[in-house]
Amino acid sequence: MSEKRTSSAADINKIIQDAKSVFSSNIVEIYAFKVDWYNNLVAPKYKLDYKNDTVALIFFTIPYVFNESFIPFLCNYKEMVVHKSWEKFIHYNMEKVQQMLKKEYHLKIPDEDIMYSFDTECGHAKILVQTAGHIAAGAYYYQRRDVIPDPWPKNKTIYGVSIHPLYGGYFSLDAVIILRNIYDPKMIKKPPPDVVKSHAKRVELLTLYNDYYQNQKWRDIIPVQRKYTDEHMKYVMTYGEERENYVKRLINGHCRGRQDLRLLYFKKYIFNF
């Protein structure tokens, strides 16, 4: 079992860079936070059962991910990943990070220390990734409490949404790894980039997200460096059987002539969904 150890900002940055190197090309951003920062913001049922100074990492995928990594993943595993394709893709990559951390840093990373945006526990999300992304200073999580005065009826539910400083709504908060053996009492908490500053734009953002989600205009609340491709957007906006059929079309359209590498990855997550 690996020893518990105190780390510096330089140590954490090295871990982040090594974790990024596991992924193909420029598809991911990784930010660090302390467990107590997260626990101080969430209801008791969402609190993480780790010591306060424990370091955690949150993983964002950015717009390049679809063509540069997700499509090749589909081509490698084809019909094995048609069902719950995105979940399997994220699991596949996070398992590679898990193995790297074990090998290079001798860290104990049990499966339960990797939490996914799609995980549920006792009927609720296992981790609130938008809150984690906010306190890690990766993307501002705009909520109703950020809009004063509040223009909506008191009995109306208003869901919050995270906005990336470069990509607006064109990114995904996918997973968190708890580094249970790494502590950083001196980690400095930074504010996330506030890129939707005005009251009017915040009202517009939350109204678009809550009342007009399907038109996806909320993603463009700020100018962005890169958007999802048309294929990526269509994938995001399809669900269930329709998504599975679309994935089959993506495989047929992109994967002819590509080497089939399915037998090189015979891990549990590919089959247990």
Q: Other C-beta atoms within 10 Å of 69: how many?
A: 20
70 pLDDT higher than 60: yes
Assign 272 a pLDDT band (cuts: 50, 70, 90). Answer: low
Length of the chain: 273
Q: Report the distance separating Cα 202 and Cα 26, nearest Å.
A: 30
CB-side exposure of 197: number of CA atoms within 13 Å?
4
pTM listed for this prediction: 0.92
**pLDDT tens, position by position, 226-270:** 999 999 999 999 999 999 999 999 999 999 866 555 545 544 545
Domain ranges, ordered by start, for the chain: 5-271
Extract the tokens encoding 269: 């997550």
Which residue blocks in the chain are alpha helix, DSSP H? 9-22, 35-39, 65, 71-77, 85-105, 129-135, 199-211, 230-236, 240-254, 268-271
Contact yes or no for 90/174 (Cβ under 8 A) = yes
Q: Report the distance separating Cα 23 and Cα 26, nearest Å.
A: 8
Q: Report the distance separating Cα 62 and Cα 65, nearest Å.
A: 6
**pLDDT tens, position by position, 181-195:** 999 999 999 999 999
Contact yes or no for 178/56 (Cβ under 8 A) = yes
Q: Report the distance separating Cα 168 and Cα 186, nearest Å.
A: 30
Contact yes or no for 182/54 (Cβ under 8 A) = yes
φ and ψ of 120, to 5 deg: -125, 155
Is 68 buried (19+), middle (13-18) or exposed (0-12) by CB count in 10 A?
Answer: middle
Extract the tokens encoding 73: 């993943």
